Chain A
Amino acid sequence: MKNLVLFVFAFFLFAAISHGQKFYTKNGKIEFDATSGSSPEKIEGINRNAICVIDTKSGAIQFSVLMKGFAFERSLMEEHFNENYVESNKFPKAEFKGTITNNTTVNYLTNGTYKVNVIGKLTIHGETKDVAADGTMITQEGKINASADFKILLSDFNISIPGLVADKVSKTARISISCQLEPLKN
């Protein structure tokens, strides 16, 4: 009886995954840290409402996030981020469209941990640049836990750091992504 239940559960899980092929979240976490080495305070923001979709068949992966949704500890930092750096009224969204280059090595149907390589185009502040990142995917009970870490050069995205805060704000920003994706039911 136990086996039968397990079998039925596994069958439905398999059916859902193989049919769905797409995984998604609307609560993806994106953190960025532009604290320079000499800064006494952290320059970091977090956004908990990133949309992420992964197509397990093609390995296509995309993100979309509202710039105004980055939360900073200090109000002033948040205002400067939006008004002076990323100009979020002019460029409200950041996007990433890419592919998992080693998608065939990931078995989405069984539990496991996989190292993945992602390449694609990142758009921030109206500028689009090619980026590459290493990430980890943990597939568990029909869900995916995806995380990645990479660095971007702020000048690549036409974001300039005024001289006055150059000792606090780093020229590069570390971006960390963490998402729990669920199968998309069509």
Chain B
Amino acid sequence: MKKKKIILYILFSFLIIIGAATIYIYKEYNRSHKDTANLNADYSITATGLIKEFEIDEKSSNTKYWDKVLLVDGIVKEIVRDDKGFYTVALGDTSSLSAVRCNIDSIHSKEAASVKKGNSIAVKGICTGFNTDELLGSDVILVRSVINKK
């Protein structure tokens, strides 16, 4: 009788563990990206300062900024809307070819639509690195960006 109880108890525990694991795996598997608007910035920096850091030492800047949430202040050099309605905002010094290029998250396209060239804005986004080009200037790229409300 006692043995049966123990077996039942073990079986029951197993079921709970399996159930919990299934829920965890299911949740983890379907996990979607967090809205950057709700994330706290790991670093707050100016566009020109950020570009300079990458120009001086790309490797250590990569280690410092990769996958981090950056809040970047700067002047809008260019705003591009592609054929599918996705916005890219380039921040930086107009006299330089380099920029911080921010891919605006499609759920925040609306806020980007009112941004004009020459505006001074802050953009929050996730850093994916530095795309260097001698001819075209080098860019720090931010993805899933949002225009930060001041």
Contact = CB atoms under 8 A, between A and B. Distances in A.
Given A26-B101, A48-B86, A49-B101, A69 B141 contact: yes
Contacts of B62: 92
A24 interface: yes
Interface string A60-79: 00001110110101111010
Nearest to B105: A71
A76 B131 contact: no
Contact of A53 (B28, B29, B30, B136): B136
Interface string B126-149: 001111110110010101100000
Interface string B98-134: 0001010000000000000000000000001111110
Interface string B30-72: 1111000000000000000000000000000010001100000
A17 B104 CA distance: 31
B131 A71 contact: no
Given A27-B82, A49-B88, A76-B31, A64 B143 contact: no
A89 interface: yes
Interface residues of A, number: 25
Nearest to A68: B128
Contact of A75 (B33, B86, B131, B139): B33
Given A26-B101, A74-B30, A75-B31, A49 B129 contact: no
Contacts of A71: 143-144
A51 interface: yes
Contact of B103 (A49, A53, A76): A49
B80 interface: yes
A69 B128 contact: yes
Contacts of A53: 133, 135-136
A27 B83 CA distance: 11
B67 A68 contact: yes
A125 interface: no
Interface string A8-43: 000000000000001010110100000000000000
B131 A49 contact: yes
A23 to B, nearest CB: 11
A29 B30 contact: no
A49 B133 CA distance: 13
A185 to B, nearest CB: 11
Contacts of B101: 26, 49
A93 B144 CA distance: 19
A66 B80 contact: no
Interface of A: 22, 24, 26-27, 29, 48-49, 51, 53, 64-66, 68-69, 71, 73-76, 78, 89, 92-93, 180, 184
